[in-house]
Amino acid sequence: MGEAGDAFRLGQVLLSRDEIKRRVSEIAGEIEREYRGRELIVVGILKGASIFMADLVRCVGDSVDVRMDYMAVSSYGDASTSSGVVKIVKDMDTFAEDRNVIIVEDIMDTGLTLYYLRDIIMGRNPESFKTCVLLEKPDRKKIESEIDYRGFVIPDEFVVGYGLDYAGKWRHLPDIWRVVKE
């Protein structure tokens, strides 16, 4: 985001809690229609997707047998760029073979993390595999990664709130805010 020692502050709200709530409910409805009467493993990518995933699965009706799991990944590189190498820090606890899996991610920038996760999960022979992303920044995309359920397309701005953070700050905010350099 910036150089060491840079100071940042909250700017304007980009997406309000009401807009987010409405879109999460719409995505949950799509998932419910597609998986009605079936088991579904919803895998949140920690830490950023945790709030989005919790709200999403609470909106999916009881006609879907939802199981929750988590993965944590990290990208290697210097402080300002990713090398594109993704390492699994915490893997799923649930077996994916012959099961329906949806990966839930907070934000897609380059597409590298989703591309890597798709490859890993597909190697585990799921019955189906889909991706759900709250925010997409198409201007930063380096690799084509399909998004099956998309919350919002946003400009290439740094944002926090609703699970997204800067240096551990602002993850708890219910709206999504622009961050500006002081």
Query: pLDDT for 97-147, tens place per residue?
Result: 999 999 999 999 888 889 999 999 999 999 999 999 999 998 887 887 789
Over range 61-89, report the average pLDDT: 78
Q: Of these residues, 106, 109, 119, 148, which one is catalytic?
A: 109
109 among known catalytic residues? yes
Q: What are phi and psi of 143, to 5 degrees?
A: -140, 145
Query: Based on the structure, what is the number of domains in the chain?
Result: 1
Residue span of the structural domain in which 110 resides: 17-154
CATH number of the domain that 110 lies in? 3.40.50.2020
Using DSSP's 3-state secondary structure scheme, residue 48 falls into coil
What pLDDT was estimated at residue 147?
Answer: 94
Please indicate, yes or no, if residue 149 is contained in any of the structural domains.
yes
In angstroms, how far is the first alpha carbon of the chain from the final one? 13
